[in-house]
């Protein structure tokens, strides 16, 4: 089909699944044109206010005119202007100027494109963190409740994906929690480390502003500080080129990519446990697991998390390469890449956290299935306990070891070759050699005696590591979570 014949409705345009299917309204708005270009206009207002305060010939009515039109953006006119000028910032300067004829002469006074572009990006990155952190805290809180509830439920541990020494369902959940706690700290740190680019001029030297203020360096520094404060930042980067260092983007996407790795690991575990029918993610009464196999209960939410997390994890490579090739004071080959990488990283992180929220609020545990799997493997794991018990009654360790070895091989044969249950315990009960310990055999095989300090570790970890972090957030019980920095 030729381009001229393509229908013009929304369904005939490519739209990112992150914005149409997965991410939240608030995160989509954060990276929307309305928010972006509205922020540009607010930055122009801040600049004009600060310049007026420091003595430049700017009138209050000019600022009032600008403030009245901050969110009144004519996107069609801006697009038309950009097609002519091939410059997005100047297109919006012109359109804003037409809406504000009194203020037109002083809009963008002394500034360069990166004044609005980079400072807006920093605001959006910080706001993006503010959206993500409460969602991450909600996941941590829900997993903490889950870990505490199942802190003492024995389950098979796995190393190399082979049955290993027992752990508990709650203890395994603390391994997930520990990764998320590390992510929360890293994201909060990256959020708080963000500074403002401020008012730095074309190549970061502030030469244009020094000229505006007739060489008064003190006023130039005051201008930088005033605008930074108006934008809600405490500090600005002391030195920049035309842009703030693109290593800032690396720091932001590093922590988001690391979060992606954590979520992928958690959801992979859940998918494996669902295969074993031990734990399942929520499954709604009308949900369809498979179009061909009605009985299936596919872990589709966990699969979605893994899928989007993989995309998130690779996006940090974009900003790494961008930072590496910023020639001298800047080069424009960062622009198109950053439009994609920054927004998609935050939208992807938002997607996996919302999905993980849903998963963790409705995890279903099947204790009887877990107990059956434990019963299949525990007899083999308990052989050392049996040997020690026999030695305590006067038995010879080497003789006992040989007896257990033979019986274990016979039981393994039943399991592997004939598909039968593990009958090692029954074989021990039938062998007269083990008569002295039969009264205590059930106690020796109690799964709870094989989990070590797992239940206590859960409680200690929650109290020492998790609950202190959750104190930074309010509204966790109501679902309206707020971060208090």
Give tens-digit pLDDT for 70-119. Answer: 999 999 999 898 898 888 899 999 999 999 999 999 999 989 999 999 99
Domains and CATH numbers, the chain: 24-99 (1.10.275.10), 113-184+248-282+298-365 (1.20.200.10), 369-449 (1.10.40.30)
- Kindly report the backbone phi and psi dihedral angles of residue 180, in degrees, each rounded to the nearest multiple of 5, phi listed first: -70, -35
Residue 264 to residue 270: CA distance in whole angstroms: 10
> Mean pLDDT by 10-residue block, N- to C-terminus, for the chain (485 residues)?
62 80 91 94 96 94 94 91 88 92 92 93 97 96 96 94 92 98 97 96 92 94 96 95 93 97 97 95 60 61 96 95 90 87 95 96 95 87 84 90 88 83 86 88 86 96 96 80 69
The Cα-based distances of 131 to 134, 135, 308, 346, 349 in angstroms read 6, 7, 18, 9, 10
Catalytic residue among 4, 8, 11, 160: 160
Residue 123 to residue 443: CA distance in whole angstroms: 61
What's residue 292's pLDDT?
47
What's residue 13's pLDDT?
77
User: pTM of this prediction?
Assistant: 0.88
The answer to whether residue 92 is catalytic is: no
Residue 37 to residue 44: CA distance in whole angstroms: 11
Residue 311: alpha-carbon gap to chain centroid: 12
What's residue 12's pLDDT?
78
The answer to whether residue 290 is catalytic is: yes
What's residue 284's pLDDT?
62
């Amino acid at each position: 089909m030729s381009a001229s014949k393509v229908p013009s409705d929304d369904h005939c345009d490519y739209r990112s699944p992150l914005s149409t299917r997965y991410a939240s309204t608030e995160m989509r708005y954060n990276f929307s044109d309305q928010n972006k270009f509205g922020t540009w206009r607010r930055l122009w207002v801040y600049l004009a206010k600060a310049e007026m305060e420091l003595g430049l010939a700017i009138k209050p009515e000019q600022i009032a005119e600008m403030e009245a039109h901050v969110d009144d953006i004519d996107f069609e006119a801006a697009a038309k202007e950009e097609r002519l000028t091939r410059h997005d910032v100047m297109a919006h300067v012109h359109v804003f100027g037409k809406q504000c004829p009194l203020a037109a002469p002083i809009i963008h006074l002394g500034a360069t494109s990166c004044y609005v572009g980079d400072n807006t990006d920093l605001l959006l990155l910080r706001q993006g963190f503010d959206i993500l952190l409460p969602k991450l805290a909600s996941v941590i809180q829900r997993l903490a409740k889950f870990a505490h509830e199942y802190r003492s439920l024995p389950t098979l541990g796995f190393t190399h994906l082979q049955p290993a020494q027992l752990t508990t369902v709650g203890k395994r959940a603390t391994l997930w929690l520990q990764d998320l706690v590390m992510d929360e700290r890293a994201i909060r740190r990256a959020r708080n480390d963000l500074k403002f680019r401020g008012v730095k001029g074309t190549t970061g030297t502030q030469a244009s502003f020094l000229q505006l203020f007739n060489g008064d360096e003190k006023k130039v520094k005051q201008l930088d500080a005033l605008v930074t404060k108006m934008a809600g930042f405490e500090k600005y980067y002391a030195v920049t080129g035309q842009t703030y260092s693109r290593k800032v983007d690396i720091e932001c996407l590093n922590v988001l990519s690391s979060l992606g790795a954590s979520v992928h690991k958690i959801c992979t575990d859940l998918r494996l446990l669902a295969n074993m029918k031990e734990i399942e993610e929520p499954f709604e009464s009308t949900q369809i697991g498979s179009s061909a196999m009605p009985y299936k209960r596919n872990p589709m939410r966990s699969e979605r998390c893994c899928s989007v997390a993989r995309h998130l994890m690779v996006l940090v490579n974009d900003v790494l390469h961008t930072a590496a090739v910023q020639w001298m004071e800047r080069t424009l080959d960062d622009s198109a890449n950053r439009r994609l990488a920054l927004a998609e990283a935050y939208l992807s992180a938002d997607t996996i956290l919302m999905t993980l929220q849903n998963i963790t609020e409705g995890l279903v545990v099947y204790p009887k299935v877990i107990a059956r799997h434990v019963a299949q493997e525990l007899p083999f794991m308990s052989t050392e306990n049996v040997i020690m018990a026999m030695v305590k009654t006067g038995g010879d360790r080497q003789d006992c070891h040989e007896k257990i070895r033979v019986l274990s091989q016979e039981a393994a044969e039943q399991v592997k070759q004939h598909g039968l249950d593990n009958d090692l315990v029954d074989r021990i009960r039938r062998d007269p050699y083990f008569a002295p310990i039969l009264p205590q055999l059930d106690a020796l095989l109690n799964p709870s005696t094989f989990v070590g300090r797992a239940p206590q570790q859960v409680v200690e970890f929650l109290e020492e590591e998790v609950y202190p972090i959750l104190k930074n957030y309010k509204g966790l019980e109501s679902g309206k979570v707020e971060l208090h920095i």
